[in-house]
Amino acid sequence: MDFRHTMRGRRALTAVAITTGLVLTVAGCGGGDDGGSDKKASSSSPAKSDGGGDKEESQAPSGQQTLATAKDGDITVTITSAEREQGGFVTVSGQVTNGGSGSWLGAEWQSDETELASNGGSLSGASLVDQEGKKKYLVLRDTSGRCLCTKFARVRPGDSASWYAQFPAPPENTTKVTFQVGAMPPADIELSEGE
């Protein structure tokens, strides 16, 4: 009985993780005209970069607000969204731009945790820090040890890739957190409420 209940729980968590990913992907693909409306332009999950070499990808899409930017060498991280979601988690998303002359894989951003070792070049090593509450939040993961974050393919010189990472939500009264990944300088961001 215990094995069957464990498998049922794992399947349920995997289904939730997959459903969340699909919902976030669909939300990121939503098009339509801007029509000058004040409707919020950012989504909880960015569209994946196809590495097509479009130079416009290196900037946040028009209508999206830049919450923070951090730079380490030739790599620039732009954060365009940090939203509280129903279910008690926060989704942080943005773009990473390779300004160097060689390809970038994100290997230095992976987690040191053995459970997350199979995530390769990903945001599995990212964290949110609630300075006021003195608490650090690590990237969420599914029951198989896969982070709920972007796993990078090669980002060629001059290209950008969209990314996201999900974290446990800090208390409701916490509105500002610090995003940290790899050797990037810490970036202070303000949390917004999801739709």
What is the per-residue pLDDT for 123?
79
Q: Which of 62, 59, 137 is nearest to 92 (CA)?
A: 137
Per DSSP, the three-state class of 159 is coil
What is the per-residue pLDDT for 12?
52
CATH number at residue 22: 2.60.40
Sort residue 28 into left (φ over 0), alpha (ψ -120 to 50) or beta: alpha
Q: Does residue 39 lie within any of the structural domains?
A: no
pTM: 0.64
Q: Does residue 97 lie within any of the structural domains?
A: yes
What is the per-residue pLDDT for 21?
53
Q: Does residue 35 lie within any of the structural domains?
A: no
What is the per-residue pLDDT for 30?
46
Q: Does residue 140 lie within any of the structural domains?
A: yes
What is the per-residue pLDDT for 116?
63
Q: Does residue 137 lie within any of the structural domains?
A: yes
What is the per-residue pLDDT for 156?
93
Give the structural domain span for 61.
2-29+44-193
AA letter at 30: G
Q: Does residue 38 lie within any of the structural domains?
A: no
Please tell me the total count of domains within the chain. Answer: 1
Q: Does residue 165 lie within any of the structural domains?
A: yes
Helix H or strand E segment including 14: helix 2-29
What is the per-residue pLDDT for 22?
45
Per DSSP, 139 falls in state P
Which string of b and e fits 122-131 if b means at least 16 CB within 10 Å?
A: bbbbbbbbbe
* Residues whose CB is less than 8 angstroms from the CB of residue 105 and which lie 6 or more positions away in sequence, other chains included: 120, 121, 152, 153, 154, 155
Q: Does residue 181 lie within any of the structural domains?
A: yes
How high is the mean pLDDT in each 10-residue block of the chain (195 residues)? 50 53 47 41 38 39 76 92 92 94 83 66 86 91 84 89 94 92 91 78
What is the per-residue pLDDT for 52?
39
What is the per-residue pLDDT for 121?
74
